[in-house]
Structure 1
Amino acid sequence: MGMTIRKGSWNKGPDLAFAINKRVADAKRKYGQDAVINACLGTLADDDGNIIALASVYKRLDEMDRKVIASYAPIEGEEDYRRLVVESLFGSYKPKAYISAISTPGGTGAIRSAIFSYVDRGDPVVCHDYYWSPYKKICEEFERDFKTYEFFDKAYRFNIEAFKNEVNKNLKNKDRLAVLINSPGNNPSGYSLSDDEWDLLIGFLREKARDKAKRITLIVDVAYIEFAGDGDEQKRFFEKFTDLPDNLMVVVCYSMSKSHTAYGLRSGAAIGISSSKENIEEFEASISLTARCNWSNGTHAAQRILIDLEREENKGEYLKELEDIRLMLEQRADEFVRRAKDKSLTMIPYFGGFFTFVPTDRAFEISESLEGENIFTIPSDKGIRVAICSVSLDKIPHLVSRLAYYVNKTCKNF
């Protein structure tokens, strides 16, 4: 007889990615670093397989006064942090709207807060069917109704009709709905919605918001945005959140984990966007109260690091390092895509982010076979997620070759 309530005991096993990553560590100890390909966990690694920690970030942590590190940050986050998150995230594409940022522990905290605050028990959260698994778990914990639609059509482009159908179906008998989008650099697929696809999505939500009895929230997870394009071009879609109907709210979920290699520092923000000042005041109150009741406040040191890095005299140091790791990831992705094409290996179109994705209905069988060769990936019902962020350039050809061997049984020249 167990003691936890039902919702506290529905998770019957460890997180798949972290369980596989433990086997990666075991294999490295047994066979050596060079004999193992770790395409499992979503952290940037250098060509020697070591996690990348930007010097510009961690130098500031090393030099920071311990009293600052030890102290509480304001519940809503430092004022300068909140302002700089908005400025650095949107760049030159800041929407014309009322905007506010509230500190959260990573992007996960922002997603969790948005789902809790903007849909109620039994309300639908509509998401593409290629998604990060904690989305569903968060909804299950809060008893929100997690719904999915086919993300891609047969040409592997955003399936706008499937999206419309799912929203229509779930709004029919509900007055409140959230749409959850992970783009650019979708996890697990590497796909990014184009400007035209964003226009279709937002145009449709504007249309549904004509019914003023409906409350619609668009939650946008942009964890991989700094690795999904050159410069700031991948941020252009933010401008489309200008002059939205009062009953269409946007919450952007920001994270320092990827952009600042600060996975363990747990710092991010929920950024509310609305044409209504009242909506933003409500956003600030609700997300701050949620913070107080769950994690109290964010990591003070991480907020101070971002504040210092955004100073004009320091910004270039960080941006140079960011550009270097962007280029490293781009080279790995280009090599993967080129080799996949040579081997006739079908993959979801890659636009950016830490992952590529190979669709197959034999993912678990294939991943097990690959693991027998010390190649570690993440299988799912849709296919195989490949964390190119942690695979050195020289190992990409062998990785693709073995993937193609198992996925395409008839492929030659291996």
Structure 2
Amino acid sequence: MFETLKEQPADKILALVQTYREDPRDPKIDLGVGVYKDASGNTPIMRAVKQAEQQLWEAETTKAYTGLAGDPAFADAMIAMVLGDAVPRANVAAAATPGGTGAVRQGFDMIRMANPDARVFVSDPTWPNHLSILKHMGMEMVPYRYFDDESRGVDFNGMMEDLAQAGRGDVVLVHGCCHNPTGANLNMTEWKALVDLLLKTGATPMVDIAYQGFGDGLEEDAAATRLIASSVPETIIAASCSKNFGIYRERTGLLMAVAADASAHKLNQGTLAYLNRQNFSFPPDHGARLVTMVLSDDALRADWAKELEEMRTGMLALREQLAAELQRLSGSDRFGFIAQHRGMFSRLGATPEQVDRLRDEHAIYLVGDSRLNIAGLNKDSVPILAKAMIDVGI
């Protein structure tokens, strides 16, 4: 039967990683893969996570399964971090998942169970795996305008016009902060207008929040998600611990279903547990337990928050350095958007040909849509990138 299988398209980002590895040139700069790196190019284990791991090694006495939805303490800790006191805890059903991607997939599955005809409205552009998963599941996708190629900001008017077409039973997928791949985000006035539109149309929001703490701060980055969850009757939230805890390979995420009141909790919680059982049974626990320990211990949490803030401000400094260097070289302020964007990514607005020239002529690797991973830079490589950008005509 295997002969009937069809070859699937290669993941463009993973293919780019392989090409970069095979490039013999030195120096070469990888700005494609979406992983945080420090100034030396490493993805470090955060101090508090390392301490929690050492404590866990000493204290752990079993590797038995947790519940189908994972350890309730993990859900409690993550819900508190993401939602604060925006909604009562009893209104939130939650299940641990293999990474934020697992939470996204389970969220889509929950939507399909609730309404097989649901349309999912996705920003143009969005994280490519959103589109890939929805296509694989056979769910209808409707793009909405988001990124303005000219201003490198949000096309808010176009976005609102497109989302006005969503209705009850449809889902509007938004990025809670640090939009991937553009780095362009709504301000709070715009978020409030979006909430008003959701209330008017009856569409259900789904928030993918993968970079909390990487934008304007832990609390600030959660503000939009909290506003949505506290304002609309139902919200689906997919949260990732990969970036802000640096535990990529531990595959740690949480799916939340927020209802208007506690009466829906039993049904929603049972649904999430059922979905876990059908897909992978019990979720992985190691990363989830580390996150729980860090968030529950005052000393560990304080050190984690300090290191996370150092990572965030370091990326902001790189943004400001790159924007300033480009302004110096070009004599133009057209690159100011780089300093205004937030998170790991910015979309430069370069053509595919210019991206190819950066790779071929300068050994600088970007995703084909010109997404730049700002965390792939350091203070020494910023001038190299800026000069190369001007050289290829960006």
TM-score, normalization by structure 1? 0.85
Equivalent of 2:135 in 121, 133, 140: 140
Partner residue in 1 for 2:305: 319
Deviations 1:162-193 (A, max 9, x none): 3344334453xxx5211111131001111121
Deviations 1:33-89 (A, max 9, x none): xx0111011111122212222132134334534966743222111111110001122
Q: Does structure 1 residue 113 correspond to structure 2 residue 106?
A: yes
Partner residue in 2 for 1:40: 32
Once the two structures are superposed, the pairs formed by residues 191-230 of structure 1 within 5 Å of their partners are 191-209=184-202, 216-230=203-217
Partner residue in 2 for 1:282: 267
CA distance in 1, matches of 2:111, 2:317: 40
Deviations 1:221-261 (A, max 9, x none): 11112111035223222442365454xx2112111100001
Once the two structures are superposed, the pairs formed by residues 187-336 of structure 1 within 5 Å of their partners are 187-209=180-202, 216-241=203-228, 244=231, 246=233, 249-310=234-295, 311-336=297-322
- Consecutive unaligned residues of structure 1, counting only runs of 5 or more, are 210-215, 409-414
Partner residue in 2 for 1:412: none
Q: Does structure 1 residue 56 correspond to structure 2 residue 48?
A: yes
CA distance in 2, matches of 1:387, 1:371: 15
CA distance in 1, matches of 2:61, 2:171: 37
Count of residues in Structure 1 that have an aligned counterpart in Structure 2: 383
Partner residue in 2 for 1:367: 355
CA distance in 2, matches of 1:221, 1:263: 16
Please report how far the alpha carbon of residue 4 of structure 1 lies from its aligned counterpart in structure 2 after TM superposition. Answer: 5.0
Pick closer, same or farther for the CA change 1:187–1:129 going to 2, 3 Å. same
Q: In the alignment, residue 348 of structure 2 is paired with which amino acid?
A: V
Asked if the contact 1:333/1:388 (under 8 Å) is kept, the reply is yes
Partner residue in 2 for 1:411: none
Q: In the alignment, residue 190 of structure 1 is paired with which amino acid?
A: G
Q: In the alignment, residue 201 of structure 1 is paired with which amino acid?
A: L
Q: In the alignment, residue 232 of structure 1 is paired with which amino acid?
A: E
Q: Once superposed, what is the RMSD of the aligned Cα atoms?
A: 2.5
- Consecutive unaligned residues of structure 2, counting only runs of 5 or more, are none
Equivalent of 1:76 in 69, 73, 77: 69
CA distance in 1, matches of 2:78, 2:230: 21
Equivalent of 1:125 in 91, 101, 120: 120
Once the two structures are superposed, the pairs formed by residues 130-169 of structure 1 within 5 Å of their partners are 130-153=125-148, 155-169=151-165
Partner residue in 2 for 1:213: none
Asked if the contact 2:318/2:378 (under 8 Å) is kept, the reply is yes
Pick closer, same or farther for the CA change 1:279–1:118 going to 2, 3 Å. farther
Asked if the contact 2:183/2:347 (under 8 Å) is kept, the reply is yes
Please report how far the alpha carbon of residue 270 of structure 1 lies from its aligned counterpart in structure 2 after TM superposition. Answer: 1.0
Q: In the alignment, residue 221 of structure 1 is paired with which amino acid?
A: D
Q: Does structure 1 residue 355 correspond to structure 2 residue 345?
A: yes
Q: Percent identity?
A: 19
CA distance in 2, matches of 1:2, 1:368: 36
Equivalent of 2:178 in 185, 209, 218: 185
Asked if the contact 1:189/1:348 (under 8 Å) is kept, the reply is no
More displaced 10-residue stretch of structure 1: 57-66 or 113-122:
57-66
Q: In the alignment, residue 358 of structure 1 is paired with which amino acid?
A: L
Q: In the alignment, residue 375 of structure 1 is paired with which amino acid?
A: I
Asked if the contact 2:323/2:335 (under 8 Å) is kept, the reply is no
More displaced 10-residue stretch of structure 1: 391-400 or 118-127:
118-127
Q: In the alignment, residue 56 of structure 2 is paired with which amino acid?
A: M
Partner residue in 1 for 2:375: 389
Q: In the alignment, residue 241 of structure 1 is paired with which amino acid?
A: I
Asked if the contact 2:31/2:364 (under 8 Å) is kept, the reply is yes
Q: Does structure 1 residue 378 correspond to structure 2 residue 367?
A: yes
Once the two structures are superposed, the pairs formed by residues 85-104 of structure 1 within 5 Å of their partners are 85-91=78-84, 94-95=86-87, 98-104=91-97
Q: In the alignment, residue 69 of structure 2 is paired with which amino acid?
A: E
CA distance in 2, matches of 1:341, 1:271: 43
CA distance in 2, matches of 1:48, 1:167: 43
Please report how far the alpha carbon of residue 398 of structure 1 lies from its aligned counterpart in structure 2 after TM superposition. Answer: 1.4
CA distance in 2, matches of 1:301, 1:206: 39
Deviations 1:357-413 (A, max 9, x none): 1113x22x2222111221111012xxx0011112222101211221232234xxxxx
Instruction: Give the secondary structure class of the aligned counterpart of 1:369.
Output: helix
Partner residue in 2 for 1:212: none
Instruction: Give the secondary structure class of the aligned counterpart of 2:154.
Output: coil
Pick closer, same or farther for the CA change 1:195–1:256 going to 2, 3 Å. same
Partner residue in 2 for 1:31: 25
CA distance in 1, matches of 2:69, 2:306: 30
Instruction: Give the secondary structure class of the aligned counterpart of 2:358.
Output: helix
Deviations 1:305-324 (A, max 9, x none): 11211212322222222122
